[in-house]
Each structure stands twice: as C-alpha cells, then as structure tokens.
Amino acid sequence: MDCDALVAKIAGRIDSWLVWHLSFAMRLQLISSILFSLQVFWARVFILPKKVIRLIEQKFNRFLWSGKDTKAKAKVAWDKVCFPKSEGGLGLRKLDILKFRDVAKEFLSFKVGKGHDISLWFDAWHPASRLVDNYGFRIVYDFGIGIDAKLAVVLQNGNWIWAPARSKALVNIQSQLPSITIGADDVPVWKSIKVEVRTRVLSSRKLKNISGSLAQQWRL
C-alpha cells in the first residue's frame, strides 16, 4: 500500500503551522487532535505498515520538541512521550497500539452511561454489537453524523434523541434501543475468553495490561 499521501499530508500540516511559533503546549494539543485524526481516518481502512508508523511518529516527535520537522534529536523518546500522564508521559496515543485492535475489539463491549467515552459507530454498545461491522459505512451516510461521533450525540439526560430513521438499518437499530440499560457512566466490559492469534494465545487480561488503558488507546 502506498502511504505517501498520508505522510505528505501530515508533513504539510506541520509546515503550515511553523509560521505561528507555537508553544510546546499548543504543539502537544495539535498532535493530540488534528494530526492523530488524519492517521485515524486512514487506519480505519488500512493496516499501516510499521515503517510508515515509525515515520509518522518521528515527525510528531520532532515537531513536538523543536516546533518543526527537522532532523534535530528529540529530547524524549516517543515511547516515553506516549506513557500515561500518571507514569510520567504526556498521554499521547501510540500508533502501533492499533495492531491489537482486531483482537481487542472482540473482547471489549460497553455499558452505556452518558455516552461521552463510547464511539457511536465503532464500539460495541448496541445489542447488534458494532454498528459499522453490522451495517457497513453506509449507515454513517444514512444517519448524517460524523464518523468520529460519540454516543452522546444521540443520548441526552438518559434519553435517546435519534433523528427519524431514513433507512431500514436505522429502523432496526432504533427498535432495539429500549433493551439497553442506561447507567451513570460509560463502563468498558472485558470478556473473559481466549482467542488464538497466530502461534500465541492472548487472554483478555493480557490485552488489558498492554501499556496504559487499552480500552482508550486501541479504539479509533
């Protein structure tokens, strides 16, 4: 797969910000939000090669510490930058955690609370599991809400506020909403099963213990 367009787009964004002489805090925020959103869009469709992930992370780290994409040595290794804040890192999301997503998503579901921590389309909060997996990306178009939408956009004060259904799929989705118990907070639930991946077995306990909170890091 040719990922030159992705790398070029990220480099272009960095170049466009150089004139602003941004502070460290602002550069951190840009990496956390805008740059990662570019990568996330591509990673939903493709499995990015390790070489591309390393190149993207290298550009992130150079921009973070120097304010530009140069070959200047970063002050802190990217691995450490991506540690949770409670462990001395900056809490950024390490890109290669995405390699676990296809395994992890089979273990993880959610109890619904306020919906701010649950992806509307990609998390298993509905009886039909992950909506995009069951209905395809057409469901996003039919509903007219962004691909990165949280469940909170259709849930307010414990009540569902879905727009009138415009497709059979949306009718099916909405018809099952009354069966969902709504609590105070969004709660990730890990299934206690095992799945064989190539030559090794990863239990839900092992997956959960991967650096940081996997429930937050692996999801797109």
> What are the E-state strand segments in the chain?
108-111, 155-156, 159-160, 187-190, 194-197, 200-203
Q: How many CB atoms lie within 10 A of CB 202?
A: 17
The structural domains of the chain, with segments of one domain joined by +, span 4-94, 108-188
Give the whole-number percent of the chain exceeding pLDDT 70. 73
Express each pLDDT in 112-141 by its tens digit.
Answer: 999 998 989 888 999 988 898 888 888 888
- Quickly state the pLDDT bin for 10 (edges 50, 70, 90): confident
The better pLDDT of the pair 8, 219 is held by: 8
**Tokens 């395809």 -> residue:** 136
Distance CA 80, CA 130 (A): 32
